[in-house]
Amino acid sequence: MPAENSSPGAVHRLTVLGAGVMGSGIAALAAGHGIAVSLIDPDRRRLDEAPARIAHQIRTARLMGALPDGTGPVAVLTGPSLAGLMTADQAAPTAVIEAVTEDADAKAEVLADVSALVVPGTPIISNTSAIPIDELARAAARPADLIGTHFMNPPCLIRTVEVIRGTHTSPSTLDALRSLLTALRREAIVVDDAPGFVTSRILHPMINDAVRVVAAGTASADSVDRLMQGCLGHPTGPLRTADLIGLDNLVDSLRVLHSRTGDERSRPCDLLLEMVRNGHLGRKSGRGFYDYEGEHA
């Protein structure tokens, strides 16, 4: 007979910092697997919108058979600050995932704050698509507790997670993250640290090239995606993928890659920059390379 505390929710208590698309998605993944989760964001509007977004993602994942049978979703606690949550008679988190915007300074500030608050040995997980973990570790009080993940959007539906081991990441931190991802039924693939790691280093310059093809008038976005799907086996096509990532997030990631590698393929192309300036950010804004009729991811 299993022990009383053998359920994932009894073993893991997760805090997610950032209630944007990825933060809400990671919170939905945890809640849908019965894991206690708190979502923190100082932006009241994003925090107010998060429960409906999380509920929608859990419903979708349930309909697609992506959540375990017999596990009801747990309520997601929300708050404007981790310090406030930890002083409100809440149990300390067993892991913290930082999922703020893809900006090195913003992430460093959050990581410095959280590493001063949590118990030493608590894994601090930066969800990043391109920023090197060793670079972020300079802001952490204990670099050994810091590790990277690159969850793909939507986290509830994509089961593989890129895990980035920094130079200073301790074996116990890696083991704790593996345990959390196992409880979330995710497959962890561990890579060493580098700008963009594996997935973004390959995918994002390729998407940038696809945008250049559209900008040159060689083919429409739909034609590019259909060719990449039908001829090369890409499941959604690079431009639908860009809309799902968020064109602003894609630009931020490309800028990180360009500044840290010097690869000109990673310099965001003019059409991409223009679309972001015009607020056409992809699914989350209702319009990107495709129209989504007010649908928000």
Give me the residue spans of the domains in the chain.
8-192, 200-285
Q: What is the residue type of 88?
A: A
Phi, psi for 195 (deg, rounded to 5): -60, 120
Q: Which residues pair with 189 in a beta bridge?
A: 162
Mention every residue, 6+ apart, whose C-beta is less than 8 A from residue 62.
32
Cα–Cα distance, 146 to 134 (Å, whole number): 9
H-helix or E-strand spanning residue 162: strand 160-165
Domain 8-192 class in CATH: alpha beta
45: number of Cβ within 10 Å: 9
Report the predicted TM-score, pTM, of the whole model to 2 decimal places. 0.91
Q: Rounded to an integer, what is the distance from CA 132 to the centroid of its chain?
A: 15
Cα–Cα distance, 59 to 65 (Å, whole number): 10
Active site residue 56: no
Q: Are strands 124-127 and 95-98 parallel, antiparallel or unpaired?
A: parallel
Whether the CB-CB separation of 157 and 143 falls below 8 Å is answered with no
Residue 145: what pLDDT?
Answer: 98
Burial, 292: exposed, middle or buried (Cβ in 10 Å; 0-12, 13-18, 19+)?
middle
**CATH for 200-285, among 1.20.1440.120, 1.10.3720.10, 1.10.1040.10, 2.60.120.620?**
1.10.1040.10
Question: What is the full per-residue pLDDT of the chain (297 aa) written as tens digits?
Answer: 333 344 555 689 999 999 999 999 999 999 999 999 999 999 999 999 999 999 999 999 999 999 998 887 899 999 999 888 877 657 789 999 999 999 999 999 999 999 999 999 999 999 999 999 999 999 999 999 999 999 999 999 999 999 999 999 999 999 999 999 999 999 999 999 999 999 999 999 999 999 999 999 999 999 999 999 999 999 999 999 999 999 999 999 999 999 999 999 999 999 999 999 999 999 999 999 999 975 644
Burial, 128: exposed, middle or buried (Cβ in 10 Å; 0-12, 13-18, 19+)?
buried
DSSP assignment letter at 24: H
Q: How far apart are the first and last CA of the chain?
A: 41
Residue 91: what pLDDT?
Answer: 78
DSSP assignment letter at 141: S
Active-site residue (options: 12, 33, 56, 150): 150
Phi, psi for 291 (deg, rounded to 5): -95, 140
